[in-house]
Structure 1
Amino acid sequence: MKERLREVSKNCYVLSSDKNQVDIHVYLSKKLLEDFTEDEAIKQLYNASMLHGVVSPVIGMPDIHTGYGLPIGGVLATDYEKGVVSAGAVGMDINCGVRLITTRVFSEEINKDLLSKILQAISKRVPQGVGKSSMLKELRKPNLEGIAYEGTEYYIKKGFGRHEDLNRIEDYGCIKGASVSAIPKSAMERTDQLGTIGGGNHFIEVGRISQIFNEEIASKLGLYKNQIYIMIHTGSRGFGHQICTDYSQIMWNNSHKNQTPAPQKGLACAPIFSEDGQNYLKAMACAANYAFTNRQIITHFVREAFVEVLKQSESKLGLDILYDVAHNIAKREKYDGKWLLVHRKGATRALPAKHEDNPNCFKTTGQPAIIPGSMGTGSYVVLGTDRIKSTFCSVNHGAGRIMSRKQARSEFTREDLIKQMGNVVTIAKNMKSLLDEAPLAYKDIDEVIFTLVEAGLTRPIVKLTPMGVLKGEGDEA
């Protein structure tokens, strides 16, 4: 498959289908292409192009790697009236997104001892790891109706944050159309994980802004050199995972009835306006709102931890949300006058300046996309250019793995991980449990970011460098 890719513009390679009019676009730098070994991921994009109602092109981002059905780093748009929705093309952890919080604290004010105390204070409040639940009963038994219909606002009213936080969350923290009635019973039994970060690549990171690429825009966004930030990366936990699992099975079982064949179960789909399609979208919205709420509750605990350790008020510390962006989501969006359902699996939205769907605070700058690297390297805040519409306003969501978790565990030792982490503080009880998240198990984040920059789709605003990280154990993605 890799050999069939042909370059059509800077860092953009095309594979044309011999069976329909849908092209596959893959964004890779020369270096990423040279090192690329995952033909299976390209094949998954090709398979996705065969689904009913797909709109050209199907897109692979520079962090692309093989996933369940659609690769991680995959974007799939379907005709909203005649196309399909695929649970697997959204992903297992629905709305596994990233939130960036800024502070009025600067790196020279934080030493390793303070940083360790901050991480410990967060850790006491926010459980980490697969299957973990909060110590607070109200978070173990959440009001799912409230989350479904009000989203993040429901728990803000209960004291978990500020009302103005809503202006800094994609869809204001609530995707409309959610219905608890569409949630399978098995998923209802997995709603006990609010306020937790899970395992896999989920984390809470404290770091500093190490590089400014555009001072004017950075200043408009409230981003300054050496400013301390907090990044939260987690999603809908076991709740969203179960919804994806169950609806993938339902769509697979009903593919004949729905007349929506798929080449593999991971791409099982249903017509958007079929019973299965509508029920999935209602359940997906519930999980997405759960994820927004999860990150909101964690934000509340992070604020508490900073106030406790630094012994200053919230207002003095800042602790303001820059933005909260979703990935692993399907959204109704208009392109060239036509309504589409855009699936972003391991991809995130980056609406350019003046886009009508931008929150008011980002009308002139465009909506920031927050792209984390691995736990020992850098992350970026980028903006989409006017050309970003060629990817359905989508960018990559991270660095992307180059090693499976199993391979990383077998190749790296505890000492290797410590060396790769450098001066980054972590308070993991067992460093060996984090071997699968070693920085060298991921692509070079700089190479990945500048693939789209050189393609003219994004522009970097700031680079973020981690100082301390809190991660959970387990293989949850």
Structure 2
Amino acid sequence: MKTTQNYYRRVDLPAGDLHVYASDVLFRGMGAKVLEMANNNLQIPNIRYMSYTPDAHVGVGTCIGTTAVWGMEDGFVSPSIVGSDIGCGMRVHLTNVHESELKDVRLRRKLVKTIERLIPVENHARGYFSDIRLEHVLRKGLHGLPGKYVPDAYTPRKATSLTHVEYGGFRFDEAELDRLPEPIWHRAHRQLGTLGGGNHFVEIQSLAIHEDNRDIAVKWGLADGMVIVMIHSGSRAWGGAVNQYCGTEVAKTMSRMGLGTPDPKLQFAPLDSPAGQAYANLMYSALNFAVANRHLMGYAVREAFRDTLGKEAEMRTLYDLMHNYACEEQEGETAYFVHRKGATKALPAGHPGNPKPYAETGHPALIPGSMGTASYLMVGERPGAANYYSICHGAGRLRSRNATKQLVTVDEFAESLRVGREDEIVVNHRALESILDESPQAYKDVDQIVESVVGAGLASVVAKCRPMATIKGV
């Protein structure tokens, strides 16, 4: 093992080199299993690079917090290194509301209740966007939505919904859509604009700008005390169906070609194989679903703010990005096929991959904490090129859901949410027992995660976000 600085190390494993961006404390806490999983991943043919972010922890087949890279000409695609929730990611909206306007805890509760009415949180609840054609969303992403759900689409000076996104829509071979059965189309259509369970959330936060990057914050339209909305969700049932169908086809290809590793749950296939192409194309349809799903939730939150605070309440998109996906990326003259599972792209100023509105500054990298702790808005730095511009995607799970329920009491959870105080973080669940496995104690310290990212030179902090209210699914 060669250590060059406190926040980076190269680990020499039997199957190849693993690059880890984490402090000594966080690295020691990862455990042997994450190195074992990395060694399995490094046995996939032709892999060029693999790394862990500081929030890395054990997942199915591949750790969450992984970046893995192949060349386009001999590349592989791995459903395991994309993750089960294809396109899962973050979205942030800026409001014209100041935190002082939401000081009254009763008003925050009213706002949460209104959001919950417009964004169903039960796992099988139907969304409110039944007039949207699912095939349009799958094929075109945001550009497949009716104009009425893109309120700024025809006001170019204010338009951010279609421009301030990592990817508004992927193009792919639409004939692949015919592979999925009719029942999943019906189920996925019902889930447009819904949250889902687990670690997904809608959170109302207030901003504190980091002085070192105040100039960037101003260019992004941020201000101290500004209320923002952070949304975390993915492709719901559609992505799950893609994984189920393609997983079977990929497994057949692996068997036929004699491919495999010691982990039977690690799936991969040549990118140019029929199974690889089917997965890649259907994955892109799920990415389109995911960005549209978050967009529709943002639209619903906007309506909730107006219903609660008055029609003068406004929201505009700061950015939308993913942290579970794979796609082609260009660096100089070379094209790579980059997988990110629980990893966020963070491009620096001047990088050609930035969307036009952020060409000068670099785009916002949206890093959620755990419920009851801070989140961060960050921006990529040039040394991040060494890690294909990947940074953390959040706090990262510290212990399992069952372990959390056994080790953390409801009183401890309530204390972390400051229940009963003026600055209480309002949640949409009266019984905290139902979401105990999502308590802050289940996650790593997000401040330590961000410290590692900054210390490694991958990105810097633009603003810190304090939670005021959280909506969780069940």
Provide the TM-score with structure 2 as the length reference.
Answer: 0.93
1:53 and 2:46 equivalent? yes
Counterpart amino acid of residue 233 in structure 2 = T
1:145 and 2:139 equivalent? no
Give the equivalent residue in structure 1 for 2:64. 72
Q: Spell out the pairing of 1:8-47 with structure 2 (5 A cutoff).
A: 8-19=4-15, 22-34=16-28, 36-47=29-40
How far apart, in 2, do the equivalents of 1:347 and 1:37 lie? 16
Determine helix, strand or coil for the equivalent of 2:256.
Answer: helix
Counterpart amino acid of residue 203 in structure 2 = E
Q: Spell out the pairing of 1:360-371 with structure 2 (5 A cutoff).
A: 360-371=356-367
Structure 1 contact 64–72 (Cα < 8 Å) conserved: yes
TM superposition shift of 1:300 = 1.0
How far apart, in 2, do the equivalents of 1:339 and 1:265 lie? 30
TM superposition shift of 1:295 = 0.7
Structure 1 contact 84–272 (Cα < 8 Å) conserved: yes
Counterpart amino acid of residue 24 in structure 2 = K
Give the equivalent residue in structure 2 for 1:97. 89
Counterpart amino acid of residue 82 in structure 2 = V
Q: What percent of counterpart residues are identical?
A: 32
| 1:209 paired residue among 202, 207, 231 | 207
Alpha-carbon displacement from aligned partner over 1:17-51 (angstroms, at most 9, x marks no partner): 334xx4101111122134x1432122112211110
Give the equivalent residue in structure 2 for 1:424. 425
TM superposition shift of 1:452 = 1.2
Structure 2 contact 408–441 (Cα < 8 Å) conserved: no
Determine helix, strand or coil for the equivalent of 1:265.
Answer: coil
Give the equivalent residue in structure 2 for 1:113. 106
TM superposition shift of 1:178 = 5.2
Give the equivalent residue in structure 2 for 1:353. 349
Q: Spell out the pairing of 1:192-231 with structure 2 (5 A cutoff).
A: 192-213=190-211, 214-231=213-230
Counterpart amino acid of residue 127 in structure 1 = P
1:338 and 2:366 equivalent? no
Give the equivalent residue in structure 1 for 2:462. 461
How far apart, in 1, do the equivalents of 2:112 and 2:303 lie? 12
Q: Which moved more, 1:393-402 or 1:251-260?
A: 251-260
Structure 2 contact 76–268 (Cα < 8 Å) conserved: yes
Alpha-carbon displacement from aligned partner over 1:324-367 (angstroms, at most 9, x marks no partner): 01110001012353211101000111111111121111001011
TM superposition shift of 1:162 = 2.8
Structure 1 contact 161–299 (Cα < 8 Å) conserved: no
Structure 2 contact 207–463 (Cα < 8 Å) conserved: yes
TM superposition shift of 1:210 = 2.8
Counterpart amino acid of residue 145 in structure 2 = Y
How far apart, in 1, do the equivalents of 2:121 and 2:383 lie? 39
Q: Which moved more, 1:118-127 or 1:153-162?
A: 153-162
TM superposition shift of 1:147 = 1.1
TM superposition shift of 1:272 = 0.6
1:292 and 2:296 equivalent? no
Distance 1:181 1:435, change over 3 A: same
Determine helix, strand or coil for the equivalent of 1:266.
Answer: coil
Alpha-carbon displacement from aligned partner over 1:179-217 (angstroms, at most 9, x marks no partner): 263443274454121111011000000010034232111
Counterpart amino acid of residue 320 in structure 2 = D
TM superposition shift of 1:137 = 3.2
How far apart, in 1, do the equivalents of 2:253 and 2:87 lie? 25
TM superposition shift of 1:160 = 4.5
Structure 1 contact 248–266 (Cα < 8 Å) conserved: no
Counterpart amino acid of residue 86 in structure 2 = I
How far apart, in 1, do the equivalents of 2:52 and 2:173 lie? 29
Determine helix, strand or coil for the equivalent of 1:279.
Answer: helix
Alpha-carbon displacement from aligned partner over 1:141-198 (angstroms, at most 9, x marks no partner): x523211222112214243443231101112x10121526344327445412111101
Distance 1:135 1:354, change over 3 A: closer
Give the equivalent residue in structure 1 for 2:315. 319
Structure 2 contact 129–193 (Cα < 8 Å) conserved: no
Distance 1:195 1:464, change over 3 A: same
Structure 1 contact 401–441 (Cα < 8 Å) conserved: yes
Q: In the comparison of the two structures, how many residue pairs are matched?
A: 458
Provide the TM-score with structure 1 as the length reference.
Answer: 0.92
Q: Which moved more, 1:173-182 or 1:227-236?
A: 173-182
Structure 1 contact 187–240 (Cα < 8 Å) conserved: no
Determine helix, strand or coil for the equivalent of 2:244.
Answer: helix
Alpha-carbon displacement from aligned partner over 1:74-107 (angstroms, at most 9, x marks no partner): 1111121102100111000011110000111111
Alignment RMSD (CA, Å): 1.7
Q: Which moved more, 1:391-400 or 1:246-255?
A: 246-255
How far apart, in 2, do the equivalents of 1:469 and 1:370 lie? 17
Distance 1:362 1:94, change over 3 A: same
Structure 2 contact 209–217 (Cα < 8 Å) conserved: no
Give the equivalent residue in structure 1 for 2:411. 415
How far apart, in 1, do the equivalents of 2:148 and 2:225 lie? 34
Give the equivalent residue in structure 2 for 1:381. 377
TM superposition shift of 1:265 = 3.5
How far apart, in 2, do the equivalents of 1:364 and 1:437 lie? 37
Counterpart amino acid of residue 23 in structure 2 = S
Q: Which moved more, 1:452-461 or 1:248-257?
A: 248-257
Distance 1:336 1:88, change over 3 A: same
How far apart, in 1, do the equivalents of 2:119 and 2:217 lie? 30
Structure 1 contact 101–320 (Cα < 8 Å) conserved: yes
Q: Spell out the pairing of 1:127-146 with structure 2 (5 A cutoff).
A: 127-138=120-131, 143-146=133-136
Determine helix, strand or coil for the equivalent of 2:287.
Answer: helix
Structure 2 contact 302–314 (Cα < 8 Å) conserved: no
How far apart, in 2, do the equivalents of 1:7 and 1:319 lie? 45
Determine helix, strand or coil for the equivalent of 1:168.
Answer: coil
Distance 1:200 1:178, change over 3 A: farther
Alpha-carbon displacement from aligned partner over 1:81-140 (angstroms, at most 9, x marks no partner): 1021001110000111100001111111112122111111110010113333214533xx
TM superposition shift of 1:243 = 1.4
TM superposition shift of 1:253 = 2.1
Counterpart amino acid of residue 195 in structure 1 = G
Determine helix, strand or coil for the equivalent of 1:344.
Answer: strand
Determine helix, strand or coil for the equivalent of 1:254.
Answer: helix
| 2:172 paired residue among 163, 177, 187 | 177
